[in-house]
Amino acid sequence: MTTQKTAIVTGSARGIGAAVAKRLAEDGLAVAVLDLTEESGADTVKAITDAGGKAVAIGADVSNEESVNAAVAKVVEELGPPTVVVNNAGILRDNLLFKMSVDDWDAVLGVHLRGAFLVTKAAQKHMVDAGWGRIVNLSSTSALGNRGQANYSAAKAGMQGFTKTLAIELGKFGVTANAIAPGFIETEMTAATAERVGVPFEDFKKAAAAQIPVNRTGVPEDIAHTASFFISEGAGFVSGQVVYVAGGPRD
């Protein structure tokens, strides 16, 4: 009998992160549901355990080194050494450049990029020790540039460079690193964007779908399916890639 693998999914209390956590549990992994507070991850954990999976909620601020190291130590203690990491945690602080505060810049880069760095750094030794690992980083089509998102676009483009470097450095230890760049996905985050621009969410989705070749907007499960592939045994020769899950081609 093979030992159950353990995954850390950051920002997995809701949205894309929750869908990824649930899918990995379905795939047979034990999942650490990492979010800002332990309480916020309770619903995701309940959904997983109710379905017969194994999960624990762990609170951590991914932008804080001590918090991350303590969280990863807790994962090892409660579920076993993590050999799968999905860096999904993210926040929005949208504004045009001339209105964007330094705090808004720092907050977004801190959660996305610093967070991915800290969580991956803390977990990679467990992957190296195991001679097997999977890292999946969440980028975005905004990495190609998006009005009002200088901070978010820079962070998501940075995730791609980070991913490719991890693939180069960790490949010889049996560890792959790939990135998923979602297009329009129906989440609380996109609903908040619609509210910010003053458009009803249904209208916002309809307008987005009209610009997407497959003629629909994405759902969190679309991203979870792609993450499941990257983490699978069969994807061991796929590394350093960025897949745009956006309903059509992106450069």
State how far the Cα of 100 lies from the Cα of 1, in Å rounded to an integer.
54
CA angle 167, 231, 49 (to 5 degrees): 140
Q: Which two tokens stand for residue 110?
A: 């801190």
The yes-or-no answer on residue 152 being catalytic is: yes
Where are the alpha helices (H) located in the chain, listed in sequence order?
15-26, 42-50, 65-78, 102-109, 115-130, 150-170, 188-196, 201-210, 220-231
Q: Which two tokens stand for residue 208?
A: 């987005």
State how far the Cα of 132 lies from the Cα of 7, in Å rounded to an integer.
12
DSSP 215: S
DSSP 232: S
Secondary structure class of 145 (helix, strand, coil): coil
User: Which one of the listed residues 152, 162, 184, 204 is annotated catalytic?
Assistant: 152
Secondary structure class of 13 (helix, strand, coil): coil
CA neighbor of 57 nearest in space, from 73, 74, 82: 74
CA neighbor of 113 nearest in space, from 40, 189, 166: 166
Which helix (H) or strand (E) covers residue 134, if one does? strand 133-138
Q: Which residues are catalytic?
A: 152
